[in-house]
Each structure stands twice: as structure tokens, then as C-alpha cells.
Structure 1
Amino acid sequence: MLIQWGVMVFIIVLVTVLTKRLETIPHGSQIWIELIVEKINDLVRANMGEKFIGFAPYIGTIMIYILMLNLIGLLGLRPPTTDYSVALALALISFVLIHATAIKNNGLRHYLKGYSEPFPLLLPLNIIERVVVPVSLSLRLFGNMLAGVIIVELIYKGLSYLSNMVHIKLPLFAALIPIPFHIYFDIFDGIIQMFIFSMLTMIFIKTTSEH
């Protein structure tokens, strides 16, 4: 919880500072800010259509927030997303938004009717399909991030065991060997899991609303 609050404070302060003096003709950091916003808007348009462009702020927020949580491992801290309660909470937020949007766009009656389509016998399967969404989102994020942390920890323990076994200190190797694993599991995998979570959220919002 402390790490999450720290990340939130960091993001709020950073955004406040970077957007304090916006100008009509961008320059400096404003160019990069507008580029990021534009890329997020383009991503939402490409996957959800212009009709759902209003979700761009939410998608951008979860992308930045999850990415920060995943990259915190580079500072020697355990990423909060390796705790299932964190991953599940993020997935439940998206889950509520997905179904609230579907009800808003189609009406409660049509939304409930969708559970029995294309024919009533599929009602149980349709319910399971909808309910499993937060489980799928959360387990994918949690499982992949936790696996990365475990592998990196095993590498450090293995190096420590090897050093004790041969009675030789290996500070250089202990410092260099884990680097490519940190690059893959903390940076590459952290970015990939953030992207997958965001993409699935967009897809679920669009498909649930349209059906």
C-alpha cells in the first residue's frame, strides 16, 4: 500500500509540474507530453473507435499507473502487482467500468437480455464468460509479474550459494549476471503486461457494450 501511494503521489506531482505552464505552441517537455497523449488517443481510436474516445483518460491512467508499479522493481522494491489483491482490485475497476458502459449504452433490459443470446440455453455459459473477466485480467498480470520476481530472486540466491560453495566472493559477477534478467522481467515484461491489461480492458469494454 505504501508503494502504491508513493507511486500515486509521484505521478500526481509529476503531472502537476509538467502541465503547469502549457502553451499554444508546445516546446520542451510539453512536446513529449502531447505526444504521449496523442499516442494514447490513437491507441483507443484504433481499438475501440471514435465512439469510445472518452475512455482515453482512463486507459492512459491505468497504463501509466500499472507501468510505474511494474517498474518499481528496478529500485529494489517488490512490485505491488505481484500481490494478487492489487491485481484483482485493478481488474475489478475495469470490470465495473465494462458493465456500467454496457448498461449505459444499451439499457438495463437489453443488457440482461444479452446473457440469453443467441439462445437461452447459453445463459450459464454467458454468465461465466462475463464473471471470469476480472479473474482473467488479474491472474495474467499477477502471475507474470510474480513469476519474474521469483526467477530473479532465485538467480540472486543461486549466485549467493555458488559464492559460498567455492568460498570466493563474486561481487562483479553478482552485479552483472542479473542485469539482463532485470531488463527482461522488470522492464520488458512489465511493459508487456501493462499493454496486455490495457488492450484487454479496451476490447472488453467495446465488445460487451456492442453485444
Structure 2
Amino acid sequence: MQKEGVIMAEELMEQLDNHTAFTIPIFGGIPVPDSCVVTWIIIAVLVLLSIILTRKLKKVPTGSQCILETFMDFLDNFFTGILGEKGKKYVPILETFIIYIGFSNIIGVFGFVPPTKDINVTAALAGMAIILVQTSFIIEKGPVKWLKSFLNPINLLDLVTRPLSLCMRLFGNVLGAFVVMELIKHCVPGGVPVIASGYFDLFDGLLQAYVFAFLTSLYMAEALEEEEK
């Protein structure tokens, strides 16, 4: 039993490692991790789906077009409700966040390792989110008022705590779900892993995408609200 536990722990640690998929033979070799390759796959799938689902649009939507428009209308209304009409131009990038992260989190169902299990990926996403928030502040209020806002130490602290919170929340939840699923696969036979996957890979994955995009939109709404005062 102890030997089996050691083997399982070793296999789990192996799964947690972010392996190098291949190395680009330039500048002494540039390693490309698995998370980057899976991200490319997700991008390719999303681009392909976008082309397929939008190539024959009709004035009166039916079938897949109806589902697509309902989904996009929901996202438009959701983010516009938080940001207001003034922030409507920033909605497309927030929709990109939630769609990409959602696909990244649930791709484990198809046998891939979620790229959001790599802290470098979640750190990059958090960095882009905060850059978006700060950029919207500069666009709407101007660089001078943006610089003056940092006279308040809380705003300066937010530049560190907010991206760190976004990064670690997404990384921790995805990593935790991945570890739990691997343990269930090793310890529980039968159809239990399939049922558990419905929660940890699908529901929790989509929930974390929603939380990330929701918090980013809230941070942006705060910046836009300050500009109106």
C-alpha cells in the first residue's frame, strides 16, 4: 500500500510538471512548454469555430446562429451592465478573456492539460487584465490624472494586489481541480471520475472564467466611475 502511494505521488508530480513540448533551435534554443502548445490549439479551434459559425449569417437567425447570437448578446448585456455605455468599447476584450479562459479550463475533458494550470499563463492573463484597466483609465481621463491617482497609496497598492489576486485565484482553483481529478482517477474506479469531471472540469472551469472576467470588469468599472466624478 505504501509503495502504491509513493508511485501515485510520483505520477501526480509528473502530471503537475509543465513539460517542454519542443525547443526552437535559435538563440541557443527557446523551450516551448505544453501550456503554450495547448494555447495555440485553443486559438486555432476558436478561430475555426468563428469562421464556421459566422460565414453564412442570416437576418433571421436559426439553428447555430441563434445559439451564437443568444450567447454573445448575454455577454454584451452582462459586461455593459457592469461598465455602462461608456465602457462598451472595452466589452470585446472582456469577452475574449472569458471565452479563452473558459476553453482553457475545460479542455481537460478532451485529454489536454489545461494551460491555466501553468502559473506563467495565469500571470500573463492577470497582467493583461490590469493593463486593460489602467489603459481604459488613461484613455478616458488622460495620463496626467492617471499619474495623480497614484498619490493615493491604495491605488498604488492595487497595481500589485489585484493582478496577484487574479493570477493566484485562477491558478489555485485550476490546479486544485486538476489534482483532485487525478486523485479520483487513481483511487476511485468505475464511472465516478466521469461524474466528478462534470464538476471539476466543466462547472468549476467555467465558473473560474466567469470570476476572472467579472473581477476585471469590476476593476474597470471603478476606474470609469472615478472619471465621471
Task: Measure, in 2, the Cα distance between the counterparts of 1:103 and 1:151.
Answer: 42
Equivalent of residue 196 in structure 2, options 153, 166, 181 = 181
Give the length in aligned residue pairs: 191
Letter of the 2:85 counterpart:
E
Percent identity, aligned pairs only, is: 32
Task: Measure, in 2, the Cα distance between the counterparts of 1:100 and 1:58.
Answer: 13
Does residue 1:198 correspond to 2:216, yes or no? no
Task: Measure, in 2, the Cα distance between the counterparts of 1:136 and 1:34.
Answer: 32
Partner of 1:100: 135
Residues 18-97 of structure 1: matches in 2 within 5 Å? Answer: 18-97=53-132
What is the SS of the residue equivalent to 1:116? coil
Partner of 2:6: none
Does residue 1:141 correspond to 2:170, yes or no? yes
RMSD: 1.3
Task: Measure, in 2, the Cα distance between the counterparts of 1:67 and 1:45.
Answer: 20
Higher helix residue share: 1
Q: Is the 8 A contact 1:71 1:187 kept in 2?
A: yes
Task: Measure, in 1, the Cα distance between the counterparts of 2:128 and 2:48.
Answer: 23
Task: Measure, in 2, the Cα distance between the counterparts of 1:185 and 1:178.
Answer: 10
135-144 or 42-51, which deviates more: 42-51
Q: Is the 8 A contact 1:103 1:209 kept in 2?
A: no
Q: Is the 8 A contact 2:87 2:224 kept in 1?
A: no
TM-score, with length taken from structure 2: 0.79
Q: Is the 8 A contact 1:102 1:210 kept in 2?
A: no
Unaligned runs of 5+ residues in structure 1 are 118-122, 160-173
TM-score, with length taken from structure 1: 0.86
Task: Measure, in 2, the Cα distance between the counterparts of 1:62 and 1:13.
Answer: 18
Higher-RCO chain (CA-CA 8 Å, sequence separation at least 6) = 1
Q: Is the 8 A contact 1:82 1:145 kept in 2?
A: yes
Deviations 1:50-90 (A, max 9, x none): 11111221121111111111111111221110110111111
Equivalent of residue 158 in structure 1, options 162, 187, 190 = 187
Task: Measure, in 2, the Cα distance between the counterparts of 1:182 and 1:24.
Answer: 39
Moved over 3 A (4+): none
